[in-house]
Structure 1
Amino acid sequence: MSSTPVVPFSEPPYLAGLPSPYYKPTHLKWQKAIREFISKHLLENALQWDTEETVPEHVFETFARAGMLIPSLPAPLPVEWLKRLGIHEILGAVKVEEFDYIHTLIYCDEMARTGLAGPSGSLTTGISFGVPPILKFGNKQLQERFLPELLTGKKRTCIAITEPEAGSDVANITTTATKTPDGKHYIVNGTKKWITNGIWSEYSSMAVRTGGPGPTGLSMLVVPLKDCPGVNMRRLKVGGQVSAGTTFIELDDVKVPVENLIGTEGMGMRYIMTNFNHERLTIAIGATRQARVALAAATEYILKREAFGKPLVEQPVVRQRLARCGAMVESQWAWVEQFVYQMTQLPKEVADIELGGLTAMAKAQAGIVLNECAQCAQLLFGGNGYTKSGQGELVERIYREVPGIRIPGGSEDVMMDLGVRQLVKNFKNKTKALERPKGSSKL
């Protein structure tokens, strides 16, 4: 329980002194340990680094040495691999075998306390989304070659799916991987766009077309990037998340050993969609905290800012605007908490089916909530919220980041549609399973 008054909307209820059924002592210990670490090594300079559009390399190294990149992986963690690498606990706060998705929730929430997606994303996006395909679907030789350096942060990776003409429409990517006549290599040609962390990555888990059109022609490869012949990378200027290293990648006859195939040819679409669940959920968690940061800043501002002879908080219209957005952010957080709890209770294969569509909807709704809260904060800050310096600087920056939540990881409209389609599909499958077989008196 907090021993000091907490600014309204500034913390999740469990950190504001209210009871919660979700958090055990291990979670509370974890939250306390990582808040101290993240505040010291990221939060203090995050706005400055984001303004400079690059987080210094030493920050990544500090997080890697402390094992503080590993919590960005899906829970449960790859315990066997981590112990082989001498990693038995993180910050002395949690053993790797005890780490669950509520620890993940706390980690993502704390990393987003900067209010910005760029600084934390510059550190974690690559390992969070690029490593899981190798962990889940890679064979033993592939894992032995790449995981030791990737899990310890000695080398960096990214996920490379999106293309200039295929964003949310993953099934229609055009980057090709054609086997050489001797069958020993793939020759990769194409382009990837909006690849977070790409510019710093030695490798990528890349979606490629090894077969015909449509989803069944897709596969995934570990493709080398930095200093690899035929690979050309350049950073893209984007409106938000400016420090996350958004990259345009051109691949011209890039030679990749066939041993770099992740899993089985033609199974790429399945691997990609499974990976998306973790990506979308972590986006939803981070975006909800960003909304909280914006709203808390606005609350502090209206408590001290005076207009027409009295503090802004005494204006009914101001309280009404704040209340509407406060209800949205607290409702969204309650959904995210419930969602994560369900993931700790369901087997992975069940969660993928039951929660897949809902994950897409949670991610989309988080973007909507962030948009409303960031806009509310900017309006309450007035001119200060429209200025790229001074007391409203962070709020102005957060509002610019909204499209970076609503578009990447599956654009909002596509996610809402996907969510309903998946729920309807599940309903039909369950209904069909209950139908009485023809010629049988048994259910």
Structure 2
Amino acid sequence: MATVSANPVPFEEPPYLRGLPSPIYTESHRRFQKACRQFVWDNLLVNAMEYEKAGQVPDHVFQKFCDNNMLVPNLPAPLPVNWLKRMNIYDILGVKVEDWDYLHTGIYMDELARSGVSSAAGINPGWCYGLPPIFKFGSPQLQEKFLPDLLTGKTRCCIAITEPGAGSDVANITTTATKSADGKHYIINGEKKWITNGIWSDYATMAVRTGDPGAAGLSVMVVPLKGYPGVNMRRLSVAGQKTGGTTYIELDDVKVPVENLIGREGEGMRLIMTNFNHERLTIAVGVTRQARVALASAFSYCLKREAFGKTLMDQPVVRHRLAKAGAELETMWAFMEQLLYQMCHLSKEDADRELGGVTAMAKAKAAMVLNECAQCAVLLFGGAGFTQSGQGELVEAIYRDVPGARIPGGSEDVLLDLSVRQLVKLYKAQEKQLGQQSKI
């Protein structure tokens, strides 16, 4: 087993891993980072490009992560400790599940993306996006029905919200769930598109319409997928995130027990929006690391590649391009550390209220930074960066992932607008509160 250590190439590592002081990370975080880096390298990243080209992470990798509790970090912090201990899950590489916080989560997401390609998309999304609504909002009976097998990896799930005509515009979802005459089942009809991991999932945490048009008519329920009557799935070919198993799902009179409803009818929009905060935060961390890999690869290449009688690094225009992208990258990482730290020290209610809009902004900005760094890398690699083999194949693959960062989880323009609307909402609430206090 090769020891994996920090890389000295500029921009390769976050400041705290370059030996620079940080007030944010505790000894627990640093110990976990070292153990996590080794585990993820040995069991995923060493073959990441091979998996990317094959378009699938092998099942044995998913199982290896599951057996070592290394899919648990995908869940929002604080973790569902009681449920995990029921499943004999007590720690994650030495970190007790009750001590886990969002900085541990950030380290995990950062390490998963160190290959530069999105191989983790082949194993993580169900845990990260599909599972949380079940243990956060599901009834005790629903949790007993699904969590034992999902938390131990015996079954897999995904999140299914997007449709051909409704992506970021969640309120316009048209997939219907109508109660049967005897009231014992929902009959689901509709389509879901661009569903990550859908093709390998036994269940989907699915957004459906149980009521009138608009947000108030939405609900969320657990819908069986693989081999279930009325469900037809086919894999979609997409530009990047090749291991993600992007899937088109058709639902034709799919019969689902009413007990599979998560929460209550009409609560779907609230559940979905709450779930998006965690999704967007984790995406932003991984995307920022991908940007780091792209820029560091370009930096290393420019130190050795010669043109016009000197190395690319000796060309002022090249240094200027690297500096512009590097400034964006390090600013983005400071933003991410700030958000993660705040998530560790705010209550769930305060974080949802104060950070929802900021998290949407961070996800959008992280994708912009990835675009800047990946584009910079491809341009500096030249023809090699346009080739899906050889020394530029990594930056070429990262550049193909850019749309997968800018669109899923809420497309860029929608999130930027959402972030400002949330900030205005906060401002008005605080202004009203100040006005009331001034009258006392």
What amino acid is aligned across from residue 13 of structure 2 in structure 1? E
Secondary structure at the residue paired with 2:157? coil
The one of 56, 64, 67 equivalent to 1:65 is: 67
Letter in 2 for 1:322: L
1:22 aligns with 2:24: yes
Deviation readout 1:27-70 (Å, 9 max, x if unpaired): 00100001001101111111011011111111111111111111
Match of residue 87 from structure 2:
85
| 1:265-276 superposed matches below 5 A | 265-276=265-276
Q: CA deviation at 1:3?
A: 8.8
CA distance in 1, matches of 2:103, 2:92: 15
1:69 maps to a residue whose letter is L
- Residue 129 (structure 1) aligns with: 129
- Look up the equivalent residue of 2:139 and give its one-letter code: N
Does residue 1:339 correspond to 2:339, yes or no?
yes
Give the secondary-structure state (helix, strand or coil) at the position aligned to 1:381. Answer: helix
RMSD: 1.2
Correspondences of 1:292-311 after superposition (within 5 Å) = 292-311=292-311
Q: Distance in 2 between matches of 1:191 and 1:4?
A: 45
Q: Are residues 4 and 142 of structure 1, via their aligned partners in 2, closer, same or farther at CA, if it must alter by over 3 Å?
A: closer
- CA distance in 2 between counterparts of 1:436 and 1:14 reads 44
* Residue type of the alignment partner of 2:277: N
Shift in Å, 1:442: 3.9
Paired with 2:18 and 2:388, the residues of 1 have a C-alpha distance of 31
The Cα of 1:240 is off from its aligned counterpart by 0.6
Mapping for residues 371-390 of structure 1, pairs under 5 Å: 371-390=371-390
Say if 1:216 and 1:413 are closer, same or farther in 2 by CA, change over 3 A: same
Q: Kindly provide the amino acid, as one letter, of the partner of residue 80 in structure 2.
A: P
What TM-score do the two structures reach when normalised by structure 2? Answer: 0.98
Give distance in 2, aligned partners of 1:434 and 1:340.
Answer: 29
Other structure's SS at 2:340 match:
helix
Which residue number in structure 2 is paired with residue 94 of structure 1?
95
Secondary structure in 1 matching 2:64 = helix
Question: Secondary structure, in 3 states, of the residue corresponding to 2:376?
Answer: helix
The percentage of aligned residue pairs carrying the same residue is 67
CA distance, structure 1, for counterparts of residue 368 and residue 377 of structure 2: 14
Residue 237 of structure 1 aligns with which residue? Answer: 237
In the alignment, residue 425 of structure 1 is paired with which amino acid?
K
* Counterpart Cα distance in 2 of 1:4 and 1:372: 24
Partner amino acid for 1:300?
S
**Which amino acid in structure 1 is aligned with residue 95 of structure 2?**
V
Structure 1 residues 207-222: aligned runs within 5 Å: 207-222=207-222
2:282 pairs with 1:259: no
Of residues 46, 49, 54, the one that matches 1:47 is 49
1:393 paired with 2:393, answer: yes
Q: How many residues align?
A: 437
Asked if 1 retains the 8 angstrom alpha-carbon contact of 2:7 and 2:13, the reply is no
1:315 matches 2:315: yes
Shift of 1:307: 1.0
Distance 1:263 1:318 in 2: 55
Distance 1:116 1:278 in 2: 21
Cα distance in structure 1, aligned partners of 2:267 and 2:345: 27
Give 1:197's aligned residue: 197
2:106 maps to: 105
Q: Which residue of 2 aligns with 1:349?
A: 349
Output the amino acid matched with 2:23. P
Deviations 1:85-127 (A, max 9, x none): 1011112x2111110000000000000111112x101110111
TM-fit CA distance, 1:4:
7.4
Letter in 2 for 1:353: R
In 2, Cα distance between equivalents of 1:67 and 1:154: 13
Query: Counterpart of 1:343 in 2: which secondary structure?
Result: helix
Equivalent residue number for residue 166 of structure 2: 166
Cα distance in 2 for residues equivalent to 1:145 and 1:12 = 42
- Unmatched tracts of structure 2, length 5 or more: none
Instruction: Please point out which of 65, 75, 78 is paired with 1:76.
Output: 78
Cα distance in structure 2, aligned partners of 1:3 and 1:110: 12
Whether contact under 8 Å (2:6, 2:13) holds in the other structure is no
Amino acid at match of 1:30: F
Distance (Å, rounded) in 2 between the aligned partners of 1:120 and 1:245: 11
SS of the equivalent of 1:178 reads: strand
TM-score by length of 1: 0.97
1:418 maps to which residue? 418
Do residues 116 (structure 1) and 117 (structure 2) align?
yes
Amino acid at match of 1:219: S
SS at match of 1:370: helix
Contact in 1 for aligned 2:202/2:226 (Cα 8 Å) = yes
Question: Deviations for 1:386-419, whole angstroms, at most 9, x for unmatched residues?
Answer: 1110000000010011000000100000000000
Paired AA for residue 97 in structure 2 = V
Could you tell me which amino acid in structure 1 is paired with residue 332 of structure 2? Q
Letter paired with 1:72: N
Q: Name the structure 2 match of 1:367.
A: 367
SS at match of 2:103: helix
Letter paired with 1:57: D
Indicate if the aligned counterparts of 2:223 and 2:260 stay in contact, CA closer than 8 A. yes
Cα distance in 2 for partners of 1:205, 1:111 equals 24
* Matching residue's letter, 1:309: G
SS in 2 for 1:250: strand
Alpha-carbon distance in structure 1 between the residues aligned to 2:129 and 2:392: 33
Code of the residue aligned with 1:65 in structure 2: it is D
1:435/1:12 Cα in 2 relative to 1: closer, same or farther (>3 Å)?
same
Deviation at 1:243, TM superposition (A): 1.0
Q: Does 1:12 align with 2:14?
A: yes
- Tell me how far apart the structure 2 counterparts of residues 350 and 190 of structure 1 sit (CA, whole Å): 36
Distance, in Å, in 1 between the alignment partners of 2:436 and 2:424 is 21
For residues 49 and 136 of structure 1, what CA distance do their matches in structure 2 show? Answer: 33
C-alpha spacing 1:5/1:230, structure 2 compared with 1 (3 Å):
closer
Given residue 96 of structure 1, which amino acid in structure 2 is its aligned partner? V
